[in-house]
Amino acid sequence: MKVDGKHIRSIWLEPDGWTVSAIDQRLLPHDFVVARLTTCDAAADAIRSMLVRGAPLIGATAAYGMALARRADSSDAALDRAYQKLIATRPTAINLKWALDEMRRLLRPLPPPQRTAAAYARAGDIAEEDIAINQGIGRHGLALIEAIAASKKPGERVNVLTHCNAGWLATVDWGTATAPIYLAHERGHNIHVWVDETRPRNQGASLTAWELGHHGVPHTVIPDNTGGHLMQHGMVDLVITGTDRVTANGDVCNKIGTYLKALAAQDNGVPFYVALPSPTIDFSVDDGIAEIPIEQRGAEEVTDMTGRTADGRIETVRIVPAGSPVANYAFDVTPARLVTGLITERGVLKADRAALAAAFPERTADAAE
Amino acid sequence: MKVDGKHIRSIWLEPDGWTVSAIDQRLLPHDFVVARLTTCDAAADAIRSMLVRGAPLIGATAAYGMALARRADSSDAALDRAYQKLIATRPTAINLKWALDEMRRLLRPLPPPQRTAAAYARAGDIAEEDIAINQGIGRHGLALIEAIAASKKPGERVNVLTHCNAGWLATVDWGTATAPIYLAHERGHNIHVWVDETRPRNQGASLTAWELGHHGVPHTVIPDNTGGHLMQHGMVDLVITGTDRVTANGDVCNKIGTYLKALAAQDNGVPFYVALPSPTIDFSVDDGIAEIPIEQRGAEEVTDMTGRTADGRIETVRIVPAGSPVANYAFDVTPARLVTGLITERGVLKADRAALAAAFPERTADAAE
């Protein structure tokens, strides 16, 4: 989508044919800096440090990381080392494992001299497939937005609430939760987005607000605490979030706090949708609350806040008293019963085992193997 | 409660008999500074700027503000001006109106020369009454905690989640939501508090964590997004929050985000209690969602964050992109159906009209007048 009026993606291959470039998302919204990734280690660090983040973008970055590793050393041992290095970066990200498995399955049977070119080609295809998937999500989600718009006065605004950043920055382009929003905006619908700040890392305030602003989509940043009040007062027409992992029975693992918005949506009769590319579905897991381990991240994400001072310096300030312990669970699980529908590239599905299995028969056959 | 091992209150009369001192809560947790209030304007500014905050402390500060105004000018006109100035500071705070009405009712019939002494005496009594009320809340809430402790293994910790700061800093001493916690801690119970950060003003991270830490109560600061996940995993035994206003039918107006925690508590079978001094009950309002106007505060509370840098400077940083609009609703309303009980100085009451009317017959008689 657009930055300063120009179309850009979150990750791309440089014209040299091997250097991978990615937006350094840690510096947003204050500075727009492109990082050049030239080794597998750099790709792994980019994932671990959240230079890149978002399940689909992590998958694409990992695929490019496997390609960068091949360029340095095409042996089987190096292939395994790269796989292990990359998979260890973010244990909750199912797309990461999917992309790495895909790359290893492709590369392992090839003679080592052919592996580098094949790896770059497949990584590029994974990026293009992500865009195509998101465009599919956009079309199916657009129909939901248009149905709501049709129930309103002509031109009356449609209010979407979103949590975290499942925007184009979290993917290669278009985003998942934002694809229907960008498409509705481009079709001329009067759409407005309530952007949850998304503590502790502020991905909503720093990334979603930044990308919507650059693309010209009307939006308002709100503290995470606000959504329930807005829904009580009819100020939210639908919720669309992304997800890091959906289980076989439709439970949704997503950024911490998503569950609270789903509860508020249910309590106020607001439809709660989750947008996802199908690789995000993990058919090997059933009960999300019982089975998905929730990553705990560093205390400094909660205690410290980085931003720009009035005179332009980037500073990090501590907001919690010294000596107060902190807990930082990165994700929570929204039970399928709270999810109105899953917006996938194959349509809007009921969040249950039968609907997911029917829409992705080839994946459930995989899981049964 | 204790600060640096010494007992202190949030507001007190200096030995000179007329200067009012209060902790400047805007500087916590970084700096402990006492502000000296010597005029009604200073008291109004202290309330408006949130140098003092919390419904009961606002009431006590307003009462002292009326006393400070009397000292400068004891006329009827000055009485009305002080009332108007103070009531305009925080339209949602019912204790503010209660304290000001109480002062005006007391002072108006008195000859002007007697008003100053009477005003100081009544303000002092309002402060003492607040402490007595909170101790009552503490005793009734302690019984709830002890019942939970009795259902656990001996010595197993009881986990309380709280939102915002309804601690001793929000009152004159003891706090409302924290009174049962402090009392349980002093009785030797193994109690631990999950402290919601409470965006956008961070009263949990900056005030509740500070006061619990100074008093030695085990606690953990969490982002507001976290409570639902903790409740799903059995890590919260009960929720206790404060409130700015309870309606005649038991709806609870409190810091934005309280409603989301009440929803999560209900969804997970966790008891959700609200602690309040009875002046917080507004028998003139029924439906909290429809009838209570929700104050909107400045965007900078959301966009900017103040804290201490690693080298000790206090800095304010902007965390939202320039040009992104912001909404900042200060409160939300938790419907009575989500409230397990209201912990008042007269016992733990069901959150409904009949229970409130039965417990406070003299107040409902007032409202019916």
Model confidence at A130, pLDDT cuts 50, 70, 90, reads very high
What is the mean predicted confidence (pLDDT) over B172-181?
Answer: 97
Q: Edge-to-edge, what's the strand order for the sheet holding B347-349?
A: B219-222, B191-196, B158-162, B238-241, B272-275, B341-344, B347-349
CB A360 within 8 A of CB A329: no
Instruction: Among B219, B224, B233, select the one facing A225 at the smallest CB separation.
Output: B224
Q: Enumerate the residues of chain B whose CB falls inside 8 A of the CB of residue A323.
A: 213
What is the mean predicted confidence (pLDDT) over A226-243?
Answer: 98
How far does A329 lie from chain B, in Å, by closest CA?
Answer: 7
Range list of β-strands (E), chain B: 2-3, 6-7, 11-13, 20-23, 34-37, 158-162, 191-196, 219-222, 238-241, 245-247, 252-255, 272-275, 281-282, 304-308, 314-318, 331-334, 341-344, 347-349
**Token pair 């790709």: residue:** A43
Q: What is the pLDDT of residues B291-324, one digit of tens each?
A: 999 989 999 999 999 999 999 999 999 999 999 9
Asked if A224 lies within 8 A of B223 by C-beta distance, the reply is yes
Q: Which helix (H) or strand (E) holds A6?
A: strand A6-7
Q: What is the pLDDT of residues B321-355, one digit of tens each?
A: 999 999 999 999 999 999 999 999 999 999 999 99
Name the residue among A69, A81, A173 with its Cα closest to residue A120.
A69
CA A6 to chain centre: 22
Q: Is the pLDDT of residue A327 over 90?
A: yes
What are the structural domain ranges in chain B?
Answer: 2-128, 139-368
Residue B369: how many other CB atoms lie within 10 Å? 5
What is the mean predicted confidence (pLDDT) over A270-275?
Answer: 98
How far does B194 lie from chain A, in Å, by closest CA?
Answer: 9
SS3 B136: helix
Asked if A320 lies within 8 A of B228 by C-beta distance, the reply is no
Q: Which helix (H) or strand (E) holds A65?
A: helix A55-72
Report strand pairing: B272-275 vs B238-241: parallel
**Dihedral Cα B4, B10, B14, B18, nearest 10 deg:** 170
CA-nearest residue of chain B to A199? B223
Residue B244: the pLDDT is 87
Name the residue among B327, B336, B331, B333 with its Cα closest to residue B356.
B336
Within 8 A by CB and 6+ apart from B218, the residues are: B157, B191, B192, B193, B212
Q: Is the pLDDT of residue A188 over 60?
A: yes
Q: What is the pLDDT of residues A55-111, one digit of tens each?
A: 889 999 999 999 999 988 989 999 999 999 999 998 767 789 989 999 999 999 999
CA-nearest residue of chain B to A309? B317
CB B273 within 8 A of CB B141: yes
Residue B97: the pLDDT is 92
Name the residue among B198, B201, B241, B240 with its Cα closest to residue B223.
B198
Q: What is the pLDDT of residues B42-94, one digit of tens each?
A: 999 999 999 998 888 999 999 999 999 998 898 999 999 999 999 999 877 77
Look up the CATH architecture of domain A2-128: Up-down Bundle (1.20)
What is the mean predicted confidence (pLDDT) over B84-108?
Answer: 90
CA distances from A77 to A1, A104, A173, B157 (A): 39, 12, 33, 49
Q: Is B91 exposed, middle or buried (0-12, 13-18, 19+ CB in 10 A)?
A: exposed
What is the mean predicted confidence (pLDDT) over B212-229?
Answer: 98
Q: Is the pLDDT of residue A369 over 60?
A: no
Asked if A315 lies within 8 A of B315 by C-beta distance, the reply is yes
Residue B91: the pLDDT is 73
Model confidence at B268, pLDDT cuts 50, 70, 90, reads very high
Model confidence at B366, pLDDT cuts 50, 70, 90, reads low
Phi-psi region of B320 (alpha: psi -120 to 50; beta: other; left: phi over 0): beta
Report strand pairing: A191-196 vs A219-222: parallel
Asked if B229 lies within 8 A of A259 by C-beta distance, the reply is yes
ipTM score above 0.90:
yes
Instruction: Among B225, B263, B324, select the one facing A264 at the smallest CB separation.
Output: B263
CATH of domain B139-368: 3.40.50.10470
How far does B360 lie from chain A, in Å, by closest CA?
Answer: 29
Residue A294 DSSP one-character state: P
What is the mean predicted confidence (pLDDT) over A147-160?
Answer: 97
Q: Is the pLDDT of residue B169 over 50?
A: yes
Q: Is A366 exposed, middle or buried (0-12, 13-18, 19+ CB in 10 A)?
A: exposed
CA-nearest residue of chain A to B329? A226
CA-nearest residue of chain A to B311? A317
Q: Is the pLDDT of residue B369 over 50?
A: no
The token pair that represents B173 in the structure block: 């001493």
Q: What is the pLDDT of residues A26-56, one digit of tens each?
A: 999 999 999 999 999 999 999 999 999 888 8
| B331 backbone dihedrals φ, ψ, rounded to 5° | -135, 160
Residue B186: how many other CB atoms lie within 10 Å? 14
Model confidence at A280, pLDDT cuts 50, 70, 90, reads confident
CB A273 within 8 A of CB A342: yes
Q: Enumerate the residues of chain A whose CB falls inside 8 A of the CB of residue B332.
A: 225-226, 228-229, 232
Q: Is the pLDDT of residue B368 over 90?
A: no
How far does A69 lie from chain B, in Å, by closest CA?
Answer: 36
Instruction: Among B209, B224, B308, select the one facing A324 at the smallest CB separation.
Output: B209
Residue B360 DSSP one-character state: -
* Averaged pLDDT of chain B: 95
Q: What is the pLDDT of residues A189-218, one digit of tens each?
A: 999 999 999 999 999 999 999 999 999 999
Residue B367: the pLDDT is 55
Residue A209: the pLDDT is 98
Asked if B308 lies within 8 A of A321 by C-beta distance, the reply is no
How far does B272 lie from chain A, in Å, by closest CA?
Answer: 15
The token pair that represents A143 in the structure block: 């129909």
Asked if B223 lies within 8 A of A308 by C-beta distance, the reply is no
Asked if B321 lies within 8 A of A210 by C-beta distance, the reply is yes
* Averaged pLDDT of chain A: 95
SS3 B222: strand
Residue B261: HSE in the Cβ half-sphere, 13 Å Cα cutoff: 36
- Residue A209 CA to residue B321 CA, distance in Å, equals 7
Residue A73 DSSP one-character state: -
Q: What is the DSSP string of B238-269?
A: EEEE--SEEETT--EEEETTHHHHHHHHHHHT
Name the residue among A157, A24, A44, A27 with its Cα closest to residue A96.
A44
Q: Is the pLDDT of residue B186 over 90?
A: yes
CA-nearest residue of chain B to A304? B307
Asked if A226 lies within 8 A of B329 by C-beta distance, the reply is yes
